[in-house]
Structure 1
């Protein structure tokens, strides 16, 4: 049996929904803030002592699952703020986003601004001065 091609447009949205549901189930039960938890730490930070753009993501998502937005923002504000653009792009890819909002999707889908944002965030969160030190997890 061949997979219907018209359903492929829902694959990214289905993947995001599946991964999100699985992560939510795990993060409702496991607290990454507790020493000895089974969740892995950041290997980049363990090797270098430098915060990567993803450092604090597990604790951020744990806070979001528990509806603690201030704690989530303290752990990884870039992750919190990027959830909406990623969701908008996934909904658009599945054909579930209104066509009149296409300029917004095009804005979010540009790779160069994302690259600049992530690299700038990576550098800024490792600076030891206020207000940049607020970007470090915790």
Structure 2
């Protein structure tokens, strides 16, 4: 259902999708800013636009897909998310991404949605 919604409606053009509260009230981009637009772009096979909106979304989707395939039994390997230090590594990546995408200098300005 959500896939059909994101395929059918562009989050940039409608009032149907919520705005990011951290950007709206604080003026900073959170790690998820641009994700709705990136999902819409991915569903329309516009990979470049999706990367421009949120570069972290695509690797996150691969990790989540791998985790889901392991949990459902389609893959017989261990999920990346089950490693001992995975939560710490994910947290470091997300916090670093949030910090860097809010810097107003080259090349980090390209991380902003």
> After TM superposition, is the score higher than 0.5?
yes
Partner residue, 2:7: 28
The alpha carbon displacement at 1:89 in A equals 1.0
Q: What is aligned with 2:53?
A: 75
Instruction: From the CA coordinates, give the structure whose radius of gyration is larger.
Output: 1
1:113 and 1:27 map into 2 onto residues whose CA distance is: 29
Alignment of 1:13-24 (within 5 A): 22-24=1-3
Deviation at 1:33, TM superposition (A): 1.9
Q: Distance in 2 between matches of 1:118 and 1:96?
A: 28
Spell out the pairing of 1:79-90 with structure 2 (5 A cutoff): 79-90=57-68
Show the 5 A alignment for 1:1-138.
22-34=1-13, 36-99=14-77, 102=78, 106=82, 110-137=86-113
Contiguous gaps of at least 5 residues in structure 1: 1-21
- Structure in which a larger fraction of residues adopt helix: 1
Cα distance in 2 for partners of 1:80, 1:103 equals: 17
Number of residue equivalences: 113
Unaligned runs of 5+ in 2: none
CA distance in structure 1 between the partners assigned to 2:44 and 2:85 by the alignment: 29
Structure-1 separation of matches of 2:85 and 2:68:
10
* Shift of residue 105, structure 1, vs aligned partner: 6.0
Which runs of structure 1 show a deviation greater than 2 angstroms over 4 or more consecutive aligned residues?
102-109
